[in-house]
Amino acid sequence: MRFTARRLIASLSVLGLLAAQSTAFAVDEQKKVEFFEGKEFAGASESAKDDTTIDLTKSKVSADGLSSIKVPYGYIVKLTEKSGHESILLSEGNYNDLGKFGWDNYAATAEVKHYSALEYELQAARVQKVKEVVSAREKELNTALRGDAIAQKTDVGVDNLRVEPVDGNHEEKTELIFTGNTRLTNTTGQKQTLTSQAFDFAESNTISATTTNSIGTSVSASATFNIPIVGSLNTTISTQYNFSKADTKSESKTVTYKIPSQSITLEPGQTVEVRARLEKVKTAGKVRLIGDINGTESGYVNLQKLVGDIGLVPTPDHKLTNGLVYKWKSFEKKPYELSFSNQHVEGEGTYQAEYGSNLYIDVVDVSTNKVQTVQANATEMQGDRSANGSSKDAVELTANAGTFDMTK
C-alpha cells in the first residue's frame, strides 16, 4: 500500500522489548545546532534549536568570527555575511573548518530552520541540487552565482510506516492498592467448605505518548503501538503516535477487576475476610517512528548574479549620494529533478504508562491474622483494555477462582 503526501493513514502494532529497571526513562535533550569560534569545535560557543535567527556579531562567537559548526539531522542553517552578498546553506554535518567548505567570509547572521524528517530530506536534497547547478554554471560563466530551488511538482510520500521500541521498557513498582473485601463465617458446628461472595473494583490505566520529532506529512497519519506488560494480568495497553507533527497524547481508561467467589474451608465458627490487592507499575521508554520516502520532485533553480546599478551609497561624512550598487538579480532558470527510492527516515517518540500488573487475593483469619495468598491470573476480558480505548468499550478483567483451606 502506498502512502503519499496527500494520502497517508497507518495503523499497526509493534511489540516492545522488556528490560526491567529501577528508574523510569528520561527524555534526551533535544538536538541543537552548535556554533564555535575556533576550528575543530573549539573556543567560545553558541547553540540554537527550533526556528531562530542569531545575530552572530552579538553572540559569544563574534570575537574572531564563526569557524566551525555542528548541524544535527533535521536542521538547515543559512549563514550570511554582513553585506548580504554572500551566504551558504549547511545541512546535517560536522563542519570543523568552514574555510574547507567554501566559506571564508565573516558570518553576520545564522538562520536556523528545524524540519520534520520528510521535509528535511526534501530541503537537504534541494540544497545539494542547488550547489550542483550553481557550481556547473560558475565554471561555464566564470562568475559568482547563487540560486534557490523552486519546486513546481512534488509527489513524494512515506511508505511502510512502523513504530519500533528503543532499548525496551523501564519499569518500577509504584504501589499496592487494597481494593475491596468480603467476609465469610462458618456458622455450623462442623468443618465446612464455603463459597465467598464475589465482588469487583475499578482502577485506571493511564498512558502518555509524545512525538518529539515527527516524520512529517501533509495530512494526519498515526500508528498504534502496543506496550508489553509485565505481571500476571497479561494486560495490553496501546497508544498512538502522530507521524505528522510533534505532539503529546495523554489518556486514561478505567478497568473493572472482577473477583469471583472463592472456595474456602473453615473450622466451626471461624470467620475470614477475602481481600484483593492490586499492584501498579509505571513503565516508560522511547520509540522510533520509521518510514521510507519514495517519489519525485521537479522544478527549477532560480540562478542569480550580482549586477551593478545606480543607487544611493553612503559617503565618508555619513551622507548619501548616487553611486554603483551591486544587487543579486535573477538571470536564468535551470530545471532540476529529485528522486527518492525507499530512502529510510526516522522520527522519535517517548511513552509513559501506569497500569495494574499483578492481582493478589488474600484470605485472612480475622481472629489470628493468619493469611493465605494466591496471585490471580486474568481468565477473561471483554472489550478493549487499552488506556486510550473509546468510552463505549467495556473493559473487564476477571480473576481466577481460588481454593483455600484455612483449617491447616
pLDDT tens for each residue of 275-301: 999 988 888 988 988 988 999 999 999
Would you state the pLDDT for residue 72? 92
100, pLDDT greater than 90: no
- pLDDT at position 220, please? 60
Q: What pLDDT score was predicted for residue 27?
A: 36
Question: All 3 cell numbers of residue 26?
Answer: 528520561
> Residue 30 — pLDDT band, cuts 50, 70, 90?
low
CA-CA distances (angstroms) from residue 64 to 43, 58, 59, 61?
Answer: 10, 12, 11, 7
What are the pLDDT digits (tens) for 202-255?
Answer: 888 888 888 888 887 655 667 788 876 777 776 677 888 888 788 888 888 888
The CATH code for residues 1-28+146-408 is 2.170.15.10
User: Across all residues in the chain, what is the average pLDDT?
Assistant: 82
- Name 187's Cβ contacts closer than 8 Å, sequence gap at least 6: 269
Cα of 370 vs its chain's centroid, Å: 50
Taking the C-alpha atoms of 317, 320, 323 and 329 in order, what is their torsion angle to the nearest 10 degrees?
130
Decide: 158 and 170 in contact? Cβ < 8 Å. Answer: no
pLDDT in tens, 151-160: 999 999 888 8
State how far the Cα of 300 lies from the Cα of 142, in Å rounded to an integer: 21
pLDDT band at 393 (very low <50, low <70, confident <90, very high): low
Q: What burial letters (b/e) apply to 351-362, b meaning 16+ CB within 10 Å?
A: bbbbbbbbbbbb
Q: How many CA atoms lie within 13 A of 108 on its CB side?
A: 8
**Domain locations in the chain?**
1-28+146-408
Q: What is the pTM of this model?
A: 0.69
> Cell triple for residue 215?
516524520
